[in-house]
Amino acid sequence: MQEHIQLNQKEINDIALSSVLETPKWWLPAVLISFGFIVTGLAAFFYMVYHGLGVTGLNRPVFWGFFIVNFVFWIGISHAGIMISAILRLTQAEWRRPITRAAEVLTVFSLMAALHTPLFHVGRPWRTYWVFPYDFSRGVWPNVRSPFVWDPSAVGTYLIASTLFVIICLLPDLAIIRDRTTGLRSKIYGILCLGWRGTPRQWKMQTIVGILLSALVLPVFVSVHSIVSWDFAVIAGVEGWHSTIFAPYFIIGAIHSGVSAVATFMVVMMWIWKGNDRILRPDHLDAIGRLLIIVATTWFLFLFLEIAFALFTLERPEIALRELQFFKWPFSGLFILFLLTSYFIPVPMWMFKNVRRSLPLMFISTILVNIGMWLERFLIIIPSLARKTPFAFDWGSYTPSIVEILIVTETFAFVIFGLLMFSKFFPLIPLFDIKEGMVFRDEIKIGRRTVPASIRE
């Protein structure tokens, strides 16, 4: 962080609260369009419930398709929040401040989108609650050996923790909105901010809770995507899945796609809310870009190792699978696209400082990463099932149906809709965090140069 822009309290308030106190012209159309996609997706879902899963492209042996791909994808995106707000907070990276809330909110909504997917996926959605460990009238405890019982507990814990985190960080900002509105709105924000007065005791407790939550949520950081990876890795019968490297491989992949999604969201925030670009600076994108180079390269190492370990034994079923994955159309084309978009185009781009500080280029490169990471999950799940056993008689293929595509679109629309609604009612830039950063700002002299620095908390 070399840049040093000092804004006074009023300027910060005006910029960060502009999305709440005024409504931009594009807001309502954007909300309506995303809501339209949600309605279409839900209509497709109920059509599927009425007619049965036959309306999807699923078959034997490809029993899992777009829904599970999408589930893994959204869980991956949700790792953004924890990376940015917990890890960067604990390591005291100053540049995190303006984007912590955006990352956390993205986490909450992408987790909700991910939690849609099991509902869409199962054959009898009205009975999905049976996986919860509660003594329903059926009198059977769920099977704790199944990763599908671990999933709801891990994802549920993560959702609760990140929602708490968002609320705790919102309290001081809600109080500011309460003081700047009148009438009913002021009353509602007054209730929501839980009586925040800004007393030293309240500040102290808020800080302690913030640090505690970020520390306590760290195990979830490891567990959530490990458990998602075990949905696949515990299955011995599927060659492409049964790999011990899956847990760390999925986690680092999740960070890759999550942090990229935050960068995309940042650029969008700088574009669509005027004034935001005075708080969110190219410097922040620069920092995220440098972080992403490390994350992406670590992820690429795991990808390489996964393939290397798989091919090391030269077993015939494994070779049949990799042949399909690498060389047979359309998977071969998707594989090349996956390699290009998730690593070989974005990472060399991020090597250049001009790219890291350019809004359009960062937008394109991070969107590419997430296209690639979606394809990665697709290429792990579908070809492995299509070449599941040594019985060539049972090999299959998979083409998604329009119903599945509509339902997958629904989850994307849901996240966009959620973010838009949040931005209308709550500030996406944490006011108190920025002000805190301004207070801690300092300058140190190194030789004859004066360098911006910050006081440690």
Partner 1 sequence: MANPSWGMVIDNDKCTGCNACVIACQSENNIPINEEDHFTQRRPIQWIRIERYWEGEFPNVKARFIPVLCQHCADAPCEPVCPVYATYHNDQGLNVQVYNRCIGTRFCANGCPYQVRHFNFWEPEWPDSLENQLNPDVTVRTRGIMEKCTFCVQRIQRTKRESEKNNTSIKDGDRQLNPACVNGCATDALVFGDFNNPESKVSKMKKKELGHGGHGDHSDHDGHKEHDEKRGYHLLEEYGTHPSVVYLKKVDYESKTVEKH
The site for partner 1 (CB under 8 A) is made up of 51-54, 58-61, 63-64, 118, 121-124, 127-128, 130-131, 138, 140-143, 145-149, 231, 234-238, 385, 388-394, 396-397
Which run of H or of E encompasses 403? helix 402-425
First to last CA, the chain: 17
CB 412 within 8 A of CB 261: no
Please tell me the distance from the alpha carbon of residue 288 to that of residue 95, in angstroms, as a whole number.
9
Long-range contacts of 437-444 (CB under 8 A, 24+ apart): 437/94, 437/97, 438/6, 438/7, 438/12, 440/94, 441/4, 441/6, 443/4
Q: Smaller CB distance to partner 1: residue 238 or 373?
A: 238
In whole angstroms, the minimum distance from the beta carbon of 385 to partner 1 comes to: 7
Please tell me the distance from the alpha carbon of residue 174 to that of residue 108, in angstroms, as a whole number.
18
In whole angstroms, the minimum distance from the beta carbon of 51 to partner 1 comes to: 8
Please tell me the distance from the alpha carbon of residue 136 to that of residue 112, in angstroms, as a whole number.
24
Q: Smaller CB distance to partner 1: residue 146 or 186?
A: 146
Token digits of residue 17: 């609260």
Q: Smaller CB distance to partner 1: residue 207 or 399?
A: 399
User: Coil, strand or helix: which one is 446?
Assistant: strand
In whole angstroms, the minimum distance from the beta carbon of 131 to partner 1 comes to: 4
In whole angstroms, the minimum distance from the beta carbon of 53 to partner 1 comes to: 5
Token digits of residue 140: 């059977």
In whole angstroms, the minimum distance from the beta carbon of 306 to partner 1 comes to: 19
Q: Smaller CB distance to partner 1: residue 182 or 313?
A: 313
Q: Smaller CB distance to partner 1: residue 128 or 181?
A: 128
In whole angstroms, the minimum distance from the beta carbon of 440 to partner 1 comes to: 48
Residue written as tokens 């999807």?
Answer: 56
Q: Smaller CB distance to partner 1: residue 122 or 337?
A: 122
